[in-house]
Structures are given as C-alpha cells and as structure tokens.
Structure 1
Amino acid sequence: MNNEQQIQQVITTYFECMYESSAQKAHDAFHPNAMITGYIGGGLQESTVGQFAELVASHQPSPKEKGEDAILDVLSIEIAGDTAVARVRDAYLGLMFLDTLSLIKVEGQWQIYNKLFHVEGEVNN
C-alpha cells in the first residue's frame, strides 16, 4: 500500500471508532499523544485520546447498531514526507463535522496526531 492508501485506511479506522463505538479503534487510529480539539455547544472542547475513546465507547447502542447512515467523505489528503493533513466530513451523533486531521508516520505506520473539528450543523435526513 502506498502512503495515501495507508492514510485512507487510518481515516476509515477513525470513522469506524465513532460509528461502531469502539474505544480500541480510537486507540488504533490515533497517536497516544494526540489531542482532539474543537468548538461544540458554544465552548472549546479538548480531549486526550483516552478521553475520546471513552466518549465514543459510551454511546451504546452504537450508531451502526442503530442503523444510522455511515457518512464519511474524504475531501483532501496532502502528504509531505512523513507528515500529512486530511480534511474529512463525517456525521456523528446527529451532527455533521468538518475535521482537519494531522497525521505522522511513526515506525512505518500512519497515525492521527491531532484532530481539529468544526460542527457544520445537524445532519439532514
């Protein structure tokens, strides 16, 4: 697999962590030092990977089990050596997010090092 395909795979794992309420997939997608940051509900939210993994695991039944649509659109991937930036639009918990994911390649494996999220609004059904 080339770098772009590997990054696509990490993005899929990231989305699956939320869609399947999987703490393990969150830890698989993110570097241990990663931060998840953005504005929601009028306030700045900052989470460690552990906190984010707990959050996604707490949503039971999972969006997948509830039969919610899986909405993930990879808008762009830019690679510079062992770093990359991806913009993705995804639906989670009834909201549409625009995420900026910074990735690094460590020991041959791509991982999300930072996630900045923006809530675009509610998902239109």
Structure 2
Amino acid sequence: MKTILLTAFMLWSFQGMKAQPKGKMENQAEIAVITDAVENYYLKGIYEGDVIRLGSIFQPGTFVYGDVKGQPYFKTAEHYLDGVKNRQSPKDSGKPFKGEILEIKVVNSIAVAEVNLKMYDFNYRDFLSFHKIDGKWLIVNKMLTDLSE
C-alpha cells in the first residue's frame, strides 16, 4: 500500500514539471545580449554623448520617429547622432539621467526593447526595434515619445 501511495505521489508531483523549451533558453541568451547592447552602447552613448559608441548600435539608414512636447519628430539616425554630437551630454550637464529597460521581446532574429529614459527635462519612452544582422543585434528603427508634462 505504501508503494502504491508513494508511486501515486511521485507521479502527481512530476506531472507539473516540464522541461523548458529550447526556444525559451535561446531567447534568454539573446535578451542578455540585447540588454548589454542597450545598457553599454545605447544608454551609455547617450549619457556620455559618445556618438561612436551610440552609432555602433544603429544599422545605417535607420529612422527615428516620434513626438517631443506634442510635436512630430522625424530624423534619420545620422541626423539624430549629429544632434547628440552637437549638444551638451547629459553627463556634462550635471542634470539627472536615468535609463531603464522595461521589457525586451525576441522572436527569431527580431526584437523590441521598451526603454524609459529620463534626461534633461524630458521623460522619454523609446521603442527600439532590433534585427540580428551578421550575428550582431542592431537597432533598425527607433520610436520615441515624450511623457513629460
């Protein structure tokens, strides 16, 4: 009787256990790589005004769309980087700066990172579209909106 109860208990206990699908584990590895790219190239590049670092994460020909203080915003990545180059960096301004990754979703070779970015007197929400090109995750589209009021 004890054997039957023990067997039944073991079967019931293991019933809820499932192996993690291979895709989930791969996604976690890709999310880690994208997290590193956002933190160490995108956010750090913006904070320091380092357009070489920041530009290395953008695929050439990328567009930047959105709105700032209710006004439409559109630039090529090249024009966006030129603006970063010609403004005082958040680091040098002495004003608070905080970049936070809210979520990253990966499907095959594409991904989206949602980032909140507080700098100067702005509170931006960025949606960064990534594509894995030649083994490297690059931003292929940036959308932003200013949440400041």
The 5 Å alignment of 1:60-75 reads 60=88, 62-75=89-102
CA distance in structure 1 between the aligned counterparts of 2:117 and 2:79, rounded to whole angstroms: 20
Deviation at 1:26, TM superposition (A): 2.3
- Name which of 41, 54, 64 aligns with 1:36: 64
CA distance in structure 1 between the aligned counterparts of 2:46 and 2:38, rounded to whole angstroms: 11
Deviation at 1:99, TM superposition (A): 0.7
Matching residue of 2:19: none
Q: Give me the CA root mean square deviation.
A: 1.6
Supply the AA of the counterpart residue of 1:34. T
Check conservation: 1:73, 1:89, Cα contact below 8 A. Answer: yes
The 5 Å alignment of 1:13-92 reads 13-60=41-88, 62-92=89-119
**Structure 2 unaligned regions, length at least 5:** 1-27
**Structure 1 unaligned regions, length at least 5:** none
Matching residue of 2:15: none
Alignment coverage as a number of residue pairs: 121
Bigger fraction of residues in helix? 2
Deviation at 1:46, TM superposition (A): 0.9
Tell me the TM-score normalised to structure 2 length: 0.75
CA distance in structure 2 between the aligned counterparts of 1:58 and 1:93, rounded to whole angstroms: 15
Q: Residues 73-111 of structure 1: CA distance to partner in whole angstroms, max 9, x if unpaired?
A: 111000000000111101133200011111000000001
Supply the AA of the counterpart residue of 1:3. E
Check conservation: 1:90, 1:96, Cα contact below 8 A. Answer: yes
Identical positions, percent: 26
Higher relative contact order (CA 8 A, sep 6+): 1
CA distance in structure 2 between the aligned counterparts of 1:91 and 1:18, rounded to whole angstroms: 11
Supply the AA of the counterpart residue of 2:90. P
Matching residue of 1:108: 135
Bigger fraction of residues in strand? 1
